[in-house]
Amino acid sequence: MTNASWLDKLGQQLKIDIACMDPAEAKRFLPFKSHDQTSNQRLVYEQMVSPENRDLFLKTVKEGKDEGWEVILDRMSALLCAKNIDNLQGRVLLQSSAFHAYDTEKVVAQARSYAREFEEAGISKDRICIKIPSTGPALNASPILLKEGIRTLGTSIFSVVQAIAASQAGCLSISPYYNYSKNTNSVQWSSVRAGNPAGWDRHDPAADIGPSAYWSTLG
């Protein structure tokens, strides 16, 4: 009988996700199957340029050369998720473009594109989730997508107000960011590390409007 680690014990109590799209690394990081696999554009890029995925990338580009680079990127993103799906218990997540943060229609369109590519890759809607920015226009996309069986995660959350709005919009979950700014000549953002809560006492202007007022901006 092997000795269980604290990570094993934690895995019995919580759903532990992994921020990694490399199947080999995913197996190495955790002694058990993680729940969900989160990702972002940087993680997708890292796998796209990886030598192990060169043939897949060239094949995808060749087949989609007449469909445009955005379709190729969405397709490649879904195919990379498919490579790791067997190492997961739950969902794979892809993130909508930050360029569409204030355009509801474009957020919906990209989420639908992801869903189509996932389906082609053999991944059903109950195993996917699309990360969308927690802005008013982007969160407006969540109820639309929910009716189509596409779940969303509200990301780029910097306040409780945004978290409440994401919940009211029907998001499956959220990704809060714990950051602080320094009022120097330029604004600097830094992660607040455990045990070093500098900046936590700074006022959050989003809290002034309250959740009801914030939700009214969502339409």
Let me know if residue 46 belongs to a domain: yes
Let me know if residue 32 belongs to a domain: no
Angle at 67 between CA 64 and CA 70, to 5 degrees: 90
- Residue owning tokens 């995913």: 26
Task: Give the domain extent around 155.
Answer: 39-178
- Residue owning tokens 């596409």: 150
Per-residue b/e over 161-173, b at no fewer than 16 CB within 10 Å? bbbbbbbbbbbbb
Let me know if residue 29 belongs to a domain: no
> What are the pLDDT digits (tens) for 92-151?
999 999 999 999 999 999 999 999 999 999 999 999 999 999 999 999 999 999 999 999
Answer for the pair 27, 87: CB distance below 8 angstroms, yes or no. Answer: yes
> What are the pLDDT digits (tens) for 17-37?
888 898 888 777 777 788 899
Let me know if residue 198 belongs to a domain: no
> What are the pLDDT digits (tens) for 40-58?
999 999 999 999 999 999 9
44 vs 46: CA distance, rounded Å: 5
Domain with 80 in it: what CATH number? 3.20.20.70
- pTM reported for the whole predicted model: 0.78
Residue 91 tokens read as 């969902």
Count of CB atoms situated within 10 Å of the CB of 18: 20
Residue 171 phi/psi, 5-degree rounding, is: -65, 145
User: Residue 2: what pLDDT?
Assistant: 62
> What are the pLDDT digits (tens) for 56-97?
999 999 999 999 999 999 999 999 999 999 989 999 999 999
Which alpha helices (H) appear in the chain, and where do they start and end? Answer: 6-13, 23-29, 41-48, 54-63, 69-84, 104-120, 136-139, 141-147, 160-168, 210-216
Let me know if residue 65 belongs to a domain: yes
- Residue owning tokens 């994401």: 166
Strands 128-133 and 152-157: parallel
User: Residue 133: what pLDDT?
Assistant: 95
Of residues 51 and 203, the one with the higher pLDDT is 51
22 vs 80: CA distance, rounded Å: 8
Let me know if residue 146 belongs to a domain: yes
How many domains is the chain built from? 1
